[in-house]
Amino acid sequence: MPGPIVHLGATVICMHGGTAVPTAPFPRVLVSGQPVATQAPPYVIAGCANPAALLPPCVTAQWVVAALRVKAGGVPVVVVGSQAVCIPTGTPLNILVTQPRVSAT
């Protein structure tokens, strides 16, 4: 699953349009001058507008699939093809915009 590496400045949203940002990007590895996102720390989500009246909005998300070969600090980096699950809704995150120059497998 090769793809561009996701960094702190990437645009990531939940399925309902909430903005997701990493809680702890890895500061020792930079792409486009910004720290990379790794699989271990969760993302926090703000502004989720879940249309289902019975379900709460997305609050956090955890990456379940990330790069297989490229790691930062021993933890796989997040790439455009990575998959995450939002909590408590169980919906995925969408990576809309990230840097195009550095890719990982």
**5-43 pLDDT per residue, tens:** 999 999 999 999 999 999 999 999 999 999 999 999 999
- Does the pLDDT of residue 68 top 80, yes or no? yes
Beta strand residue intervals within the chain, DSSP E: 3-4, 11-14, 19-22, 26-31, 34-36, 43-46, 60-65, 71-72, 75-76, 83-87, 93-97, 103-104
Rounded mean pLDDT of 82-97?
Answer: 97
In the chain, where are the structural domains located? 3-96
